[in-house]
Amino acid sequence: MGLEFNEETFRGDFSFKNSPKAIKRFPFPFPEDSYMYSVNMEPHVPGPKGSVFEHTFDVDEHYVSEMRDRAMVLADDPLRCQSLPHMTLAGWDLLELIMESKARDYPHWFELHKNGNKWHWINRPLEIEQKFTFLDETTLPCGPLEYITRQTQGDFTLQDQRDNNLFIEAGMVTTQADWSLDFDIGMSFQEWHAPVPMAHELGVFDRALKFLLKLQLGAPVRRFNWTMTVDPLLDTSPENYPKWGPTKTTLTMDNIGRRQHLRVELQTLHRLPRSNAIAFPIRAYLISFQDLVTVPKWARRLHRVIRDVPEPLATYKGFLRNRPLMVEYLSQFDDGKPTSPGWWPEPE
């Protein structure tokens, strides 16, 4: 697998780090100096070369280590991957989408050979080679959703569409911002978003659902979400909250730059061909404050966003108690100069 993938951990000694290249391509989520919920969806079309949007599924330097972390989470808690019985076909749809995308976009790492329904999959970074029969579960070591998402960064949920609604009825969720698949599985769109403050009243979920019900095959869309995480911990699950909750009380001005991370989710939505379900990959990217402030525009903007974000939102995202410290740290890097619209770094 060579030097392309970091040897790093997302627990214990937290040796995760972003290379200068990874910092430069980090998906900074704020197009302006303030933040409020919005539907903010745009077509998921290929972006600039080298950006996280270049390919349908971004594979980056953290790939191999992230997959190792996922395997550890699943060993501890197999309920992080579940699929209700009628969702198996959607799992196959997702497996096909990912295998075809990766083999097309990263031919040096992934290969897919098809002879009718006899498929041959090669994943070089993870040293996996599998011959199987498409749509025949008995020819894979586990269900299709679990099989392919053990080899793909980001959480995944699969939504069944019926009765003018979407139901979250399958998923692989090991890198989540504090929500439980085991609790939410089977819920409608409004039900699983019930705990989110303010957005219901803004009509965000009604508009988003209306939009998603009409999502077309071959026309995926994307949006950002974000939160804050102390230490580069992927598994900020409610299940393990008693383990990671206490770390929030250990931040100081001396360690916040190194330990506080902005967590950005690149969320994409894809209509699936056979099941008519919607696949929802939620890809988490982490960046430490000290790395983030190396980009002057991001440092200025993050300071203003965190300082001004409404209190219910800071509470829901779980960083209200550390907001004063974050603002104090970030203010050192905000000289008050205007920032340009859009999230790309300024040429400085």
Give the whole-angstrom CA distance, residue 278 versus residue 275: 9
Residue of 68, 223, 307, 323 marked active site: 223
The CB-of-191 to other proteins minimum distance in angstroms stands at 4
Give Cβ neighbours of residue 316 (< 8 Å, ≥ 6 apart): 195, 196, 197
Q: Which of 193, 164, 152, 166 is nearest to 60 (CA)?
A: 152
Dihedral sign for Cα atoms in the order 306, 311, 317, 320: positive
Tell whether residue 160 is a contact of other proteins (CB under 8 A).
no
Tell whether residue 317 is a contact of other proteins (CB under 8 A).
no
DSSP 262-313: EEEEEEEEEE-TTT--EEEEEEEEEEEHHHHTTSHHHHHHHHHHHHHS-HHH
The CB-of-170 to other proteins minimum distance in angstroms stands at 13
Query: Which pairs count as long-range contacts for 186-191, CB under 8 Å and 24+ apart, including other chains?
Result: 186/84, 189/159, 189/165, 190/165
From 133, 190, 255, 315, residue interacting with other proteins (rule: CB under 8 A): 190
Tell whether residue 238 is a contact of other proteins (CB under 8 A).
yes
Tell whether residue 323 is a contact of other proteins (CB under 8 A).
no
The CB-of-328 to other proteins minimum distance in angstroms stands at 20
Q: Which of 127, 126, 131, 156 is nearest to 141 (CA)?
A: 131
When the beta carbons of 8 and 231 are compared against other proteins, the nearer one is 231
From 1, 45, 194, 213, residue interacting with other proteins (rule: CB under 8 A): 194
The CB-of-268 to other proteins minimum distance in angstroms stands at 25
Tell whether residue 182 is a contact of other proteins (CB under 8 A).
yes
Does the annotation mark 223 as catalytic?
yes
From 241, 253, 315, 332, residue interacting with other proteins (rule: CB under 8 A): 241
When the beta carbons of 95 and 208 are compared against other proteins, the nearer one is 208
Tell whether residue 235 is a contact of other proteins (CB under 8 A).
no
The structure tokens listed for 109 are 């790492």
Give the whole-angstrom CA distance, residue 195 versus residue 192: 8
Largest CA distance in the chain: 61
The stretch near other proteins (CB under 8 A) out of 41-49, 88-96, 146-154, 186-194 is 186-194
Tell whether residue 270 is a contact of other proteins (CB under 8 A).
no
Tell whether residue 148 is a contact of other proteins (CB under 8 A).
no
| φ, ψ (nearest 5 deg) of residue 189 | -55, -45
- 239 to 69, 176, 178, 304, 338: CA distances (angstroms): 16, 11, 8, 32, 42
From 51, 180, 227, 290, residue interacting with other proteins (rule: CB under 8 A): 180
Q: Which of 277, 272, 266, 222 is nearest to 96 (CA)?
A: 272
Give the whole-angstrom CA distance, residue 60 versus residue 81: 23
The stretch near other proteins (CB under 8 A) out of 135-143, 208-216, 244-252, 323-331 is 244-252
Find the binding residues for other proteins in span 77-116 (CB under 8 A).
Answer: 79
From 36, 54, 104, 183, residue interacting with other proteins (rule: CB under 8 A): 183
The answer to whether 335 touches 303, Cβ cutoff 8 Å, is no
The CB-of-121 to other proteins minimum distance in angstroms stands at 33
Applying CB under 8 A, the residues found at the interface with other proteins are 79, 180, 182-187, 190-195, 200, 238-242, 245-246, 248-249, 321
Active-site positions read 223
